[in-house]
Homo-oligomer: A and B are copies of this chain.
Amino acid sequence: MKRIVVLVGDGFCGWPSALGLSAQGHEVTIVDNLSRRRIDAELGAGSLTPITDITTRLAAWKRVTGRTIEFRAIDVAKDAEALGEAFREIAPDTVIHFAEQRAAPYSMRDAAHKHYTVDNNINGTNSVLASLVELGLDTHVVHLGTMGVYGYDGDGLEIPEGYLDVKVEAPDGRAYPRSILYPTQPGSIYHLTKSMDQLLFQFYARNDGLRITDLHQGIVWGTQTEQTRLDPELVNRFDYDGDYGTVLNRFLMQAASGYPLTVHGTGGQTRAFINIEDTVRCIMLAVANPPARGDKVKILNQVAETHRVRDLAALVAKVTGAEIALVDNPRKEAAENSLKVSNRSFRRLGLEPILLRDALLNETLEVVERFKHRANFDAVPARSLWTRKNRPGTVQRSSDAA
């Protein structure tokens, strides 16, 4: 059993991960500045599910399971001193680093939000690593990366796990083989910060021998896990707004409210997906399988499958009877792309991922139906624009343009 610090254990992935690890018997401490709840207020669109405050959540966990999760209110990016003090006191075996602003549209709103995302994410990652080095701790850092670092304009070859084998031709015609970090092509400031994180990890693994696992995760769907279902006060958050709501959640909300499913552009974007229960399983597997000290960063693709966005819309339309509307794309991205991605490492560790099928949408649909009276439907369409030339992904705007 390990001493584990979950940085931002109050968020959508962090909360169920903290519970899952606690249920396994690990000694878990959540560190969080609760910034995600502040942003709920900023956007006027909180979690659709009525999440309880962190104190109530943790008391419920204790009541239901008898297990204790500690909590410390620390801003990881801004208060390196408090973070270092927590690490010194806990001497964690593992730090799970979810402490990053994670919405691409939010990161693209304007200069201030670009600044916030870069400042928060990069300083946070560096503080975690620098603090562990300063304390001389041999802690395993597990970081939640993103598939978005690879970019979505590949040449059709399967995306490997973090590293790419290439050949460089010398003037004499000889080809030198090199294994390099996969060249990143992030599509938003948020994704960019995770590309920059990769360089931080590479440096600290190499200079200081830190043991680091970086998980390049696909888009998460679903809401509840085995642990969050145990009690209403343990419910996981559900984001449906145009900034934080991922594409499937947005479609389900639109279906529930009788609004057409807003597909950006042609819906030809292919993306990788994973269910929230598998997120938690992957975190557990990563915790249990650290790299050796001195190894290069262990990079794993945390994905189950890939889907084209218009196919997802068709699936939701079939289940719910909703209409589909092709609208302007607020993002600057390839209209159509193919995507093949390796997930061999997690498969080899025993992951048999949940795949998205009609039946499995039911739980999320039930969540949406049950709590849709709490929703701010104005917040559903995606309005954060990548450039001045982009237009919001709203049905009205699309007709205006047509």
Considering the chains assembled together, what is the distance between the CA atoms of A109 and B138 in angstroms? 20
Considering the chains assembled together, what is the distance between the CA atoms of A119 and B195 in angstroms? 17
User: Would you call A330 an interface residue if the criterion is a C-beta within 8 Å of the partner chain's C-beta atoms?
Assistant: no
**In this complex, what residue of B is CB-closest to A170?**
B157
Considering the chains assembled together, what is the distance between the CA atoms of A103 and B171 in angstroms? 35
CB-CB under 8 A from A166, the residues of chain B are 166-168, 178, 180
CB-CB under 8 A from A133, the residues of chain B are 111
Q: How far does the Cβ of A395 sit from chain B's closest Cβ, in whole Å?
A: 26
User: Would you call A196 an interface residue if the criterion is a C-beta within 8 Å of the partner chain's C-beta atoms?
Assistant: yes
CB-CB under 8 A from A134, the residues of chain B are 110-111
Q: Which of B157, B203, B332 contacts A176 (CB 8 A)?
A: B157
A130 adjacent to B155 (CB under 8 Å): no
Q: How far does the Cβ of A24 sit from chain B's closest Cβ, in whole Å?
A: 31
User: Would you call A86 an interface residue if the criterion is a C-beta within 8 Å of the partner chain's C-beta atoms?
Assistant: no
B203 adjacent to A186 (CB under 8 Å): yes
A131 adjacent to B111 (CB under 8 Å): yes
A169 adjacent to B165 (CB under 8 Å): yes
**In this complex, what residue of B is CB-closest to A197?**
B196
A203 adjacent to B199 (CB under 8 Å): no
Considering the chains assembled together, what is the distance between the CA atoms of A195 and B203 in angstroms? 11
Interface 9-residue window, one of A26-34, A120-128, A264-272:
A120-128
**In this complex, what residue of B is CB-closest to A168?**
B166
Considering the chains assembled together, what is the distance between the CA atoms of A157 and B387 in angstroms? 39
Taking each of A111, A157, A186, which has the highest tally of chain B beta carbons within 10 Å of its own beta carbon? A111
Q: Mark A143-169, 1 if CB is under 8 A from B, else 0.
A: 000000000000101100000111111
CB-CB under 8 A from A44, the residues of chain B are none
Query: For the side of the interface on A, what is the size category?
Result: 35 or more
**In this complex, what residue of B is CB-closest to A134?**
B111
Q: How far does the Cβ of A116 sit from chain B's closest Cβ, in whole Å?
A: 10
B183 adjacent to A180 (CB under 8 Å): yes
User: Would you call A175 an interface residue if the criterion is a C-beta within 8 Å of the partner chain's C-beta atoms?
Assistant: yes
Considering the chains assembled together, what is the distance between the CA atoms of A203 and B195 in angstroms? 11
19 additional A-B residue pairs with CB within 8 Å, beyond A115-B127, A155-B178, A208-B387: A80-B112, A80-B115, A111-B131, A114-B126, A122-B122, A136-B388, A157-B176, A166-B178, A167-B167, A167-B175, A180-B180, A185-B206, A187-B207, A189-B203, A192-B200, A196-B199, A196-B200, A199-B199, A207-B387
User: Mind listing 26 A-B residue pairs with CB under 8 Å?
Assistant: A80-B111, A80-B112, A80-B115, A111-B131, A114-B130, A118-B123, A118-B126, A122-B196, A155-B168, A155-B176, A157-B168, A157-B176, A166-B166, A166-B167, A167-B175, A178-B183, A180-B180, A180-B183, A184-B199, A185-B206, A192-B199, A192-B203, A195-B199, A196-B199, A199-B199, A207-B332
